[in-house]
Structures are given as structure tokens and as C-alpha cells.
Amino acid sequence: MPSVAVGGITLPPSRAAPRLKVLDVTEAMEREVVAALGKGEPEEIMSSAFNLKVTREDIHTLRNGCWLNDEVINFYMGLVMERSKKAGYPSVHAFSSLFYEKLASGGYRTVRRLTRRVDVFHKDVILVPINLSLHWALAVIDTRKKTVKYYDSLGQGGDKICETLLKYLQEESREKRHVKLNVSEWTVHSMEPHEIPQQSNGSDCGVFTCKYADYISREKPLTFTQIHMPYFRERMVWEILHQELL
């Protein structure tokens, strides 16, 4: 079996994930990525969309070994939502990285206005990026399957987070639809380490969170591994610069 080229690295056959379809990164794309990750004014705006701005300093959090910041996470979630408008994709809504923190600390009243322009119950999938101080994770609400699941690349449990989000759905349904949510029809579940890809370092949790969102919003199995993170980081730089998911 030949080795697999992944961005700027080559995976030996024994470490390559056989089911992961890797896109070629052209030399032109590589040059753009290298330039974006290179020297320049930290405050320079590299991309702007979804009422968000990503600076060179933000982009630099996509360097290997760095923690992704809120700006990169939120922009990427915006790209996932934008793609979901195309035919063939589940409809997706993604909350900002501050949503869960506000909900957990201040209750429903602190976040009720955030959905004044969207009916979350008309979305198939709701993504909730969660900032746990020095760690990123993702909660996923599937309104079709009536599930709330927690995805953590360090294998930590998030049942309390899921229950908080289910309570949010109850209050949102009562407030916006005047309908009582039948919670007995819903299930919550923290994904076990053997169920989802896990990180093996202390810096890639943000990338795992974004890729969980990417794959789930395409209804694809989570076939990536830790070894693909350098490639995903390069790819995310290009996607943010071009405001388009590959």
C-alpha cells in the first residue's frame, strides 16, 4: 500500500486512515497558507464574513501546537452554516462559543434573544462549541433524532452539559413556540472515547471540535485521526481565507 500525502506531511501506510478522503493541497494553496501564517501585522484583517473578522493573529492560532481561539472557531462554524444552505446538506444552526457559557452562568434569559431571527426547531442539526477554559468540545443537538450528544476529544463526559441544553430546548419551545417539549422522547449521551476520534496532545482540541462539526454536518462518519491534524490546520487556513469549505 503506498503512503498517503496529507498537506505538507506524508503518512506511512500503517498510520494512514484508509477511509479518509484527503484533498490535494496545491502549491498555490500551500503558498497562501504559508504567507498567512508568516510575518505581518497582527491586526491585519485576513477574512471577514458572518459579521466576524479574522486577523493574522487569529490565523496564527492555526499553527501546529497552538490552541484555536474563539474567532477561528466561530468563523469556522459560520462556514459550516453557510455550506448547509446548499442542496443535499442537513440544515444547520451553530451558536457562538459564548452561548453555552452565558446559558450555564445566567440561564435562559441571557440567551433568549439570540434566536430571535431563527427557529432552532426548524433546523436539523444545532452545533454548540463549548469553551471549557483551556479545552474545546462540541455539543450536537439533532432535532430529527431528538438527541443531544457531547463530543470531547479528551474523552471527558458532558452529561450535565447535554442536560443543560435539553432544558434550554424546553424553555425555547415554551417561549417561542408555546409548545411543551416532551423530554421523554429525547436522549442525551456523552460520546465515549472509543466512539469518536481522540487527540493525543494538548493543543488540537479546537481542530477536533471543528472537524466533528464538519463531518457531522455532512452526515459523514468520523474517520479522521490525530495524524491528520497538521493537514486540517493548513486546510482550515485556506478555507477561512477563501470563506469556503473544501
- Catalytic annotation on 162? no
Which of these is catalytic: 205, 210, 214, 228?
A: 205
Q: Which of 174, 173, 148, 175 is nearest to 163 (CA)?
A: 148
**Rounded-to-integer distance, Cα 97 and Cα 111, Å:** 12
Alpha-carbon distance 163 to 103, whole Å? 12
122 is catalytic: no
Nearest to 25 by CA among 211, 245, 226, 234: 234
For strand 4-6 and strand 9-11, is the pairing parallel, antiparallel, or unpaired? antiparallel
Assess contact for 193 and 155: CB atoms under 8 A.
Answer: yes
- Bridge partners (DSSP) of residue 189 are 149
**Pick the catalytic residue: 58, 60, 93, 152?**
152
Cβ–Cβ < 8 Å for 90, 219: yes
- Return the closest-CA partner of residue 34 out of 3, 74, 11, 64: 64
Catalytic status, residue 189: no
CB–CB of 71/62 below 8 Å? no
Which residues have a catalytic role annotated?
A: 135, 152, 205
